[in-house]
Amino acid sequence: MSVSRRHFLAFAATSAAFAGLARANAQPAPGYRKEIAGYGPLVPDPAGVFDLPEGFSYKVVSKVGQPMDDGFLTPGKHDGMACFPDASDPDRVILIRNHEQRPSEPDRSAFGKDGALAAKLPAGKAYDLTSDKGLPMDGGTSTLVWDVKRQRLVTHHLSLIGTAVNCAGGRTPARTWLSCEETEMKAGEGGAKDHGWVFEVPADLRGVADPVPLTGMGRFKHEATATDPRTGIVYLTEDFADGFCLFYRYLPNDKAKLAAGGRLQALGFKDAPKGDSRNWDGRFWAIGDKRKTTWIDLEGVDNPHNDLRHRGHARGAAWFARGEGIYFGDGELYFTCTSGGPTKDGQVMRYRPSPREGRPGETDRPGEIELFLETGDRDVLFMPDNLAIAPNGHLFLCEDKYAGQNMLKAVTPKGQVYTVGRNAVVPALKNAPNTELAGVCFSPDGSTCFLNIYYPGMTIAITGPWAKLKA
């Protein structure tokens, strides 16, 4: 999501959006078009939160301001999220959820409007403090335990704090969540430290994680990550509002210890150095086209001059249009480019790693990237952001569009799009945008889809007849 829109939303919406506004006050729902039947038409939600097809329902898992078990308050701006099985109970799952709070947003802080609850935080657990009040910065993560059998919240607590603009991230095979800062804020610009890092949060931790930046993954406007369970390589997206972004991978020295350093590289097209995947200025490629890749070593990844992407492109890396959600599936990964395509309405990329990915011999057997989907009809798909692969193999995509109601969409392996749900929350101010959806993920048994309504902040658990999909 662009910074400008987020600032607008901060003023345009209030927590009253979740106070049961009458649906009669809502603007007429915009049209949507499905390329296959999916689960059927959406039914308006009487509570005005989320519209779903017949037979589906949701429960609110938690929302902004709700007291947590550690004595802190649930922070706002619920963004990227992942789901892990709870090793201690087969009926439970663990959710780790990002909070894209800026350095100081007291109305949605874990510490209350006056910051008084910050005194409860153990020493050394905040990565950075604000320059004005000396309070922990409000960005970070919370961890929730949800009983999928009984559909109820068991516990929730703060698990990372003192970071800023924690947008999305990604789960790792080591049962950790990588939380990404989507900022290039420098020391002295509101705090004492540089920001724009990735932080690791263990899923089984029942407290606040040690805030250790994974500096080898670079300092830039991180969006999300996906880790190949076979190689341990971490792939990373970048989200600048101007759409001049790179796609990265991190080759860890020790895949079990990401903080031990590694090499950061950017993707280029083997046959088109400095290629432009966005299709903004002419048609670089069409849906279904595939290109062999090369990976370019990057230097100065701590990025002191905030120019890493431009240096990478100068060395041959390709441009991507606002890389956002990313998810690793069966030997391949998908990622969204929210403003890609001739109309800047969105693209989905598919990357298949080399059999020698990150190792000698890769040059002779390179990986391959494909333009999997490019939207040309806003009623079908408009500005896809966070994504996940559902148990049935379909991509579930969260929309982050600037106007109208944001939808939860799904895409079949053949690239056919259908609508799963719709954000029905009415903005507090007339003509304000309907906030983005984020953090889509599934319980391991496939029974529950978890989803975030970004602003002011709410997580819901969706259940229903997932097996009754109609092509």
Beta bridge partners of 129: 136
Strand-strand pairing, 407-411 and 417-423: antiparallel
Main-chain dihedrals φ then ψ at residue 85, nearest 5 degrees: -65, 145
Whether 254 shows a pLDDT value over 80: the answer reads: yes
- Using a pLDDT cut of 90, give the percent of the chain over it: 90
When pLDDT is cut at 50, 70 and 90, the band that residue 426 belongs to is: confident
Roughly how many angstroms between the first and final C-alpha of the chain, as a whole number? 31
pLDDT, one tens digit per residue, over 136-153 is 999 999 999 999 999 999
pTM of structure? 0.94
pLDDT at position 4? 32
Question: Which helix (H) or strand (E) element contains residue 312?
Answer: helix 308-314
Whether residue 28 is predicted with pLDDT greater than 60 in this model: the reply is no
Kindly tell me if the per-residue pLDDT of 261 is higher than 80.
yes
Give residue-wise pLDDT tens across range 79-109. 999 999 999 999 999 999 999 999 999 999 9
Please write the tens of the pLDDT for every residue from 168-177: 999 999 999 9
Average pLDDT along the chain: 93
DSSP code per residue over 39-91: T--EE--TTSSEEEETT-EEEEEEETTPBPTTSPBPPS-EEEEEEEE-TT-TT
d(CA 464, CA 449): 9
Report pLDDT for 31.
74
Residue 223 amino acid letter: E
Under the banding of pLDDT at 50, 70 and 90, the label for residue 30 is low
Which residues make Cβ contacts (< 8 Å) with residue 217, sequence separation at least 6? 197, 198, 225, 234, 236, 248, 250, 258, 262, 264, 301
| pLDDT at residue number 168 | 98
Domain ranges of the chain: 64-213
**How far from the centroid of its chain's Cα atoms is residue 378's Cα?**
21
Which residue type occupies 429?
A: L
| Dist CA 107 CA 306 (whole Å) | 30
pLDDT band, very low/low/confident/very high, at 59 (cuts 50, 70, 90): very high
